[in-house]
Structure 1
Amino acid sequence: MPAETQPRAGKPIAVAPRPERRQQSRRWFQAGFFVLFVLAPPFDLLRYDLVAGHAWFLGMEWHVGFDDYAAGRIGLAGILGAVLLKVFLPILGTGAALIWTAWKWGRLYCGWLCPHFSVVETINRLMQRATGKPSVWEPRTLPPREPDGRAIRYDRRWWLLTVPLAIAFAFTWAVVLLTYLLPPAEVYGNLVAGEPTRNQLIFITAGTVVLSLEFLFARHLFCRFACAVGLFQSLAWMGNRGAMVVGFERARAADCANCYSACDHACPMRLKPRNVKQAMFTCTQCAQCVSACETTQRDNPRGPLLGWVAGDAARRNEAILAGQRPGAAGERR
């Protein structure tokens, strides 16, 4: 996981070299979490069984005690304590851990783990191959080259892969979500036999249709404007002026003249990384902009202009980008 970068004396931002394998490592994290997302229900790692009326956690049945309360084996105090201990406490604990992580490092869960965001990035890349745009809402075609200078050939035949893959992702998501509610063996068994129940068929069909439309037309917009998990992470991150942020060495902005705004084009959320934190509210800390800048500036002896910064370096970065004197951010803490 990323760590705070310490600034050099007299510099608003410290630009430290990052491994070229950063994005490869992130892909492995995403792939691993996607596999966990799919396999958690079959292995009873985490799911709620509507048929049995209880949850499963780490292979163990997770009973709250409503049956015992209805049978008179425990009293009101017992059931209230069980609900607090087995329902609210785990939810609040998980939420607190997520919010604390976001307060300190931003939306790391989104950029490094979230199975939805991995779909967003995959469809973005394929759609760019097909149309020159990572989204149907992108106003202009992006330059046909990678940050390292390699040419990209745009070809509408990529649609033949983009649309089926989006539908396949949607179908997978619909089935997996259903296994979080019904016994996975029953769901997968019925699908393999080609005999899903009426309600299972309705759920999977509706989920596939809705998610297909979302993946094709609104995937990054969902992350920016509709995802509650992402929203609360962003709010926590904005509340910490010293949180990790993508910093821009504004004093060297002239070095960007030889670049084609690779950092802007690389962002899957369609943000402008060389901007103030407020304009980066939905940044997922995927660091694709940082990697793009490192690549385009690889021959620059002064290094890249973008980099992760935290603490005082993050505060100075915001003060400079906002056109303030460096001490102003600290005075408002």
Structure 2
Amino acid sequence: MTLASSPSKAGARQRRRRFFQVGFFALFLLAPALNLLRFDLDDTQLWVLGMRWTLGIDAFRAGQISASDMALNILLRAFLPAIVLIGTFLGVAWRWGRLYCGWLCPHFSLVETLNDILQRACGKLSLWDKHATTHGTRAPQARWWPVFAFSCALFGFLWAITLLTYLLPPAQIWGNLIHGTLTPNQARFLVIGSAVFTAEFAFARHLFCRFGCAVGLFQSLVWMANPKGMVVAFDRDNARDCRTCTTANSPQGSACDNGCPMRLHPRNIKRMMFSCVQCGQCLDNCDDSQGAQAREPLLEWKVGADAIRETLRQRKQELAREAALQSPQSPQPDAGPAVRQEKL
């Protein structure tokens, strides 16, 4: 195991992640305007990387190409690109889990942003949390509530109009909006879409990421099927060190738990980390906490053969705990709060 990372080294991972998130967020917003990716319903035309992407159906109907040419177009321009894209995406998920969610997904970027604003308002990451999450010396302030409500509404509208520009020419949509000449269908889409997204950002953003997003769900399923997939490994031999685990953001302990934006318990076994987005915030919090006490971090990423050994060790310890629970006469060893947390 490597020596404990310094706070600057631990923060470098999050700075890199923010860089990728901001870049992909800008790409998501600008892609329709730049014709990088959109489908124009008016012309029934797909645009990819600034070029018209066609299968040659019109040319086939006009007798300009043969049936074999048409079949070849469908194979090379439809099936092959789809297979390559889906295969590459799932291949990344197979080895590294929901890396797209934690490092690129625009929706998850907003989840983390809104989490921070809500925590400033009430000390919680979600309106449904029963207890506040400690965050250093920051005390909840009511003046952040209007900021949270406005942010949810703003991002909800931004999401609705951006999705509409993926289906209709962006210049037309923005022009109609500025001049107040939106068509009834466009106006209905924006009003309904804005309301739905605003409610989702305010009340169900975590639930959507964990249970409602098909992209995240398939990444998790593929990752769970691979015993060599990257996991957050916990040094259970030194679990007692978690008793003094504190950081500026978590003065009452459980720094890794409080640092997880998905509100998971990173010291849990893999099957309990189904919706982990591999953001690495739990690792950074552990590095800060243990490094401040001149100790090695207890959490680190493992992949490949190391991940298999971690999974086997988790299974062995889980079986041992189950056997201990079934034998009430035998005393149960106290492995510290970190291990007890895994039963939740």
1:248–1:307 Cα contact (<8 Å) kept: yes
What does the per-residue CA deviation read over 1:173-220, in whole Å, with 9 as the maximum and x for residues that have no partner?
Answer: 111111111111111111122221111111111110111111111111
In 2: Cα distance, 1:252 partner to 1:318 partner:
17
SS for the counterpart of 1:323 is helix
Find the residue that maps to 2:39 and give its secondary structure.
strand
Amino acid in the other structure paired with 1:286: C
5 Å matches for 1:113-128? 113-128=104-119
Say if 2:10 is the partner of 1:24.
no
For each residue in 1:113-133, what CA deviation from the matched residue of structure 2 results, as whole angstroms up to 9, or x when unmatched? 000000111111111111211
1:244 maps to which residue?
Answer: 230
Equivalent residues of 2:120, 2:139 under 8 A apart: yes
Distance (Å, rounded) in 2 between the aligned partners of 1:80 and 1:15 = 58
Judge conservation of contact 2:37–2:49 (CA < 8 Å) in 1: yes
Report the alpha carbon displacement of residue 15 of structure 1 after superposing the two structures with TM. Answer: 6.3
Q: 1:15–1:86: structure 2 CA closer, same or farther, 3 Å change rule?
A: farther
Specify the alignment match of 1:298 in structure 2: 291
The offset of 1:324, in angstroms, is 4.3
Q: 2:235 and 2:195 mapped to 1: Cα distance?
A: 45
| Contact 1:107–1:230 under 8 Å retained in 2 | yes
Preserved CA contact (<8 Å) 1:15 1:305: no
Q: What residue number does 2:24 align with?
A: 33
> What is the DSSP-based 3-state SS (H/G/I as helix, E as strand, rest coil) of the residue aligned with 2:265?
coil
Of 146, 153, 156, 1:170 maps to 156
Q: Which runs of 5+ in 2 are unaligned?
A: 246-252, 319-344
Instruction: Find the partner of 2:262 among 261, 264, 269.
Output: 269
Which structure has more helix as a fraction of its residues? Answer: 2
TM-score by length of 1: 0.88
Name which of 51, 65, 68 aligns with 1:60. 51
Task: Please say if 1:320 is aligned against 2:306.
Answer: no
Identity of aligned residues (%): 49
Equivalents in 1 of 2:92, 2:106: separation in Å?
Answer: 18
The C-alpha deviation readout for 1:46-92, integer Å capped at 9, x for no partner, is: 11111122111111111122222333333444333322322222222
Q: 1:191 aligns with which of 160, 170, 177?
A: 177
Q: Which amino acid aligns with 1:279?
A: M
**Offset at 1:256?**
0.5
Distance 2:141 2:314 in 1: 38
2:291 is paired with a residue whose SS is coil
Contiguous gaps of at least 5 residues in structure 1: 1-7, 9-13, 326-333
SS at structure 2 position matched to 1:295: helix
Whether the aligned pair in 2 keeps the contact of 1:242 and 1:314 (CA below 8 Å) is yes
Q: Which residue of 1 aligns with 2:147?
A: 161
Written as runs of structure 1 = structure 2, the 5 A alignment for 1:193-272 is 193-259=179-245, 260-272=253-265
Structure 2 CA distance for partners of 1:88 and 1:128, relative to 1, 3 Å? same
The number of aligned residues is: 308
Q: Distance in 2 between matches of 1:121 and 1:237?
A: 23
Q: Is the 8 A contact 2:10 2:288 kept in 1?
A: no
Find the aligned partners of 2:3 and 2:113 in 1 and give their Cα distance.
29
Contact 1:264–1:289 under 8 Å retained in 2: yes
- Judge conservation of contact 1:54–1:62 (CA < 8 Å) in 2: yes
Q: Which residue of 1 aligns with 2:87?
A: 96
The code of the aligned residue for 2:116 comes to: R
Q: Distance in 2 between matches of 1:66 and 1:205?
A: 36
Q: Which amino acid aligns with 2:302?
A: V
For 1:19 and 1:162, how far apart are their aligned partners in 2? 28
User: Which residue among 289, 303, 308 is the counterpart of 1:310?
Assistant: 303
Match among 21, 43, 46 for residue 34 of structure 2: 43
Relative to structure 1, is the Cα distance of residues 23 and 142 closer, same or farther in structure 2, using a 3 angstrom cutoff?
same
1:73-112 mapped onto 2 (5 Å cutoff): 73-112=64-103
Is the contact between residue 121 and residue 140 of structure 2 (CA under 8 Å) also seen in structure 1? Answer: yes
Structure 1 window deviating more from structure 2 (69-78 vs 82-91): it is 69-78
Q: Residue 143 of structure 2 aligns to a residue in which SS? A: helix
